Amino acid sequence: MKAFFIDSYGKGNGQIGLLPEPEVRANDVLVQVHAASVNLLDSKIRKGEFKLILPYRFPLVLGNDLAGVVVRVGANVRRFKPGDEVYARPQDDRIGTFAEFISVTEDALALKPGNLDMGEAASMPLVALTAWQVLVETAKLKKGQKVLIHAGSGGVGTVAIQLAKHLGAFVATTTSTSNVEWVKALGADVVIDYKKQNFETVLQGYDVVLNSLGSDVLEKSLKVLKPGGQLISISGPPTPQFAEEQGLSWGLKQVMRLLSLGIRRKARKAGLRYAFVFMRANGAQLHEISALIESGAIKPVVDRVFPLESTAEALSYVEQGRAKGKVIIKVS
């Protein structure tokens, strides 16, 4: 099969070539990939930022989102059959959607929303699951609460704004001047132009902050939360709880403890809670997200589409941080 893969870690690595089709285990579904989407996670994996947590083997096919058609199912698979149109974020140790075929565990898959084409569907799993696991699962966001979503025009931000509005929350977001009206149209109640305003001096009394930016923004975000509020970061630093959930070694647990010690202490001192969310594959949650997509509560936001042969160019474009929504790889 044709695929985009790396043979070693490093920025700019990667090539299009031929690799064997993946094996299909008893609980697996073999999917012919029609479209994938690019996430910053792909760039971080390519550079080796997760090699201590996720020890991949080479050649490593990149790609964390897919939409496609079921080709074959393993002996234990009951929910899917050949011909089904599906979408998924594969499990952390089974990535590889920048390829013509991928083998995915049954419990990571969901039927593709009927109102989306393959490219639109491929744009959703990772960002929608991230938004769901932050706002629904971790924050337990309720109607009438106030949430600040950083980077509202990014992949996660565009979906998180829509999900938070569906949940009945009051939504603030940060973005650049050119995207202010655009994120308002997505549903944001208050938009902070970070080039002209400091969000931490404008906003106050918030229940939840979803952070996807750097440590400077993380610390400033504490100032907008009311006592008992939650600062939830998807960009780190990771916590000892995360290390425990990942089953990491004692040494790595201590590293994570030290990395997040400062922000955890500051949060505790202010009567706030800090959590780190590392999105995981979950077909059942994706099924619930499908219902919201089909009802029109959440709409995909696609910036550009690249062919599989231009995957390196697509990764470079996403790394620039200027994409409005998601960047798609058309595979077949």
* Interatomic CA distance for residues 329 and 129, integer angstroms: 19
**CB-based contact 149:171 (threshold 8 Å):** yes
pLDDT band at 173 (very low <50, low <70, confident <90, very high): very high
Hey, is 263 helix, strand or coil? helix
End-to-end CA distance of the chain: 12
Measured CA angle at 267 (ends 264, 272), to 5 deg: 125
Say which CATH architecture domain 2-123+301-330 belongs to: Alpha-Beta Complex (3.90)
Residue 78, by phi and psi: left (phi above 0), alpha (psi -120 to 50) or beta?
alpha
* Interatomic CA distance for residues 309 and 285, integer angstroms: 32
* Interatomic CA distance for residues 291 and 9, integer angstroms: 38
Return the percent helix, strand and coil in the chain, to nearest 5: 35, 25, 35
**Torsion on CA atoms 264, 270, 271, 277, rounded to nearest 10:** -30
Hey, is 187 helix, strand or coil? coil
Strand 302-307, strand 273-276: pairing = unpaired
pLDDT digits (tens, 9 = 90+) for 37-62: 999 999 999 999 999 888 899 999 99
Q: For residues 237-243, give the mean pLDDT.
A: 93
pLDDT band at 321 (very low <50, low <70, confident <90, very high): confident
Hey, is 286 helix, strand or coil? helix
Hey, is 95 helix, strand or coil? coil
Q: Which ranges in the chain are annotated with CATH 3.40.50.720? A: 126-276
Block residue for tokens 């938004």: 131
Residues, the chain: 332
* Interatomic CA distance for residues 122 and 99, integer angstroms: 13
* Interatomic CA distance for residues 169 and 175, integer angstroms: 19
Q: Which ranges in the chain are annotated with CATH 3.90.180.10? A: 2-123+301-330
* Interatomic CA distance for residues 115 and 296, integer angstroms: 9
Has residue 295 got a pLDDT over 90? yes
- What CATH number matches the domain at 126-276, 3.40.1180.10, 3.30.565.10, 3.40.50.2300, 3.40.50.720? 3.40.50.720
- 175 strand-pairing partners: 193
- Over the chain, what is the mean pLDDT? 96
pLDDT digits (tens, 9 = 90+) for 69-92: 999 999 999 999 999 999 999 999
Hey, is 100 helix, strand or coil? coil
pLDDT at 81: 98
pLDDT at 332: 87
Block residue for tokens 């504490």: 222
Cβ partners under 8 Å of residue 100, min gap 6? 1, 2, 3, 32, 33, 331, 332
Q: For residues 236-245, give the mean pLDDT.
A: 93
* Interatomic CA distance for residues 58 and 168, integer angstroms: 45
- Min mean pLDDT across 30-39, 226-235, 244-253, 255-264 is at 244-253
Instruction: Look up the pTM and report it.
Output: 0.97
* Interatomic CA distance for residues 114 and 112, integer angstroms: 6
Q: For residues 220-243, give the mean pLDDT.
A: 96
